[in-house]
């Protein structure tokens, strides 16, 4: 962490540590459990119970979390979002959806502040705030955002399959520009 963040403590430090663990897991293609069972790097430590809960819980619910984030980030595929911003969003959404003792507003505010400190660009804090705000609006309206996210993912998968199938349609005899298999149409001998 940068020197201007030396005094990060409490749950903010836990979130920073969870971010680092998720980042290491993603970068190495391993699970959080695998990262925790071996050597891992934290800029400040030691890893506390809440940081471990965030990292493990976020990873455990990754499919649901990513479905919600993918739906909410409509114009951006999740793979295009920087790894830091993506994992900050994942941690905040885990807290919003699965940690009852943390108010959604606190999870969003913490994510925005961490994006200001560690995000991929000067726009990171606004980006994460917009995505999480959109999700929170749905939650406040009584929408099951996990179900909505999975429905969106299924619709996208259907559309991709439909497009792929359209491109893989076998040609029938009339679609080929050959008249006898050896010559181009219109080029008779």
Predicted confidence (pLDDT) per residue in 74-121, tens digit: 777 888 999 999 999 999 999 999 999 999 999 999 999 999 999 889
pLDDT at position 175: 57
Instruction: Please state, for a pLDDT cut of 70, what percent of the chain lies above it.
Output: 84
Residue 6, pLDDT > 50, answer no
The residues, any chain, with a CB within 8 Å of residue 10's CB and separated by 6 or more, are: none
Tell me how far apart the alpha carbons of residues 69 and 80 are, in angstroms, rounded to a whole number. 12
Of the two residues 64 and 2, the one the predictor is more confident about is 64
The residues, any chain, with a CB within 8 Å of residue 32's CB and separated by 6 or more, are: 21, 22, 25, 55, 56, 58, 59
pLDDT at position 104: 96
Q: How many CB atoms lie within 10 A of CB 110?
A: 20
What is the pTM assigned to this prediction? 0.81
């Amino acid at each position: 962490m940068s020197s201007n963040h030396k005094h990060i403590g409490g749950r903010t430090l836990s979130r920073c540590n969870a971010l680092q663990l998720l980042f290491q897991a993603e970068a190495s293609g391993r699970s959080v459990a695998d990262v925790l069972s071996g050597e891992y790097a934290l800029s400040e430590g030691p890893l506390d119970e809440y940081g471990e809960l965030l990292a493990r819980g976020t990873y455990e619910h990754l499919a649901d979390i990513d479905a919600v984030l993918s739906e909410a980030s409509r114009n951006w595929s999740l793979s295009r979002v920087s790894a830091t911003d993506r994992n900050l969003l994942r941690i905040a959404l885990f807290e919003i959806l699965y940690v009852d003792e943390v108010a959604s507003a606190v999870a969003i505010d913490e994510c925005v502040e961490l994006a200001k400190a560690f995000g991929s660009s000067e726009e990171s804090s606004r980006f994460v705030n917009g995505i999480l705000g959109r999700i929170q609006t749905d939650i406040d309206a009584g929408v099951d955002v996990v179900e909505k996210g999975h429905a969106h993912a299924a619709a996208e998968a259907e559309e991709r399959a439909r497009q792929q199938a359209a491109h893989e349609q076998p040609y029938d005899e009339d679609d080929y520009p050959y008249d006898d298999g050896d010559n181009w149409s219109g080029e008779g001998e």
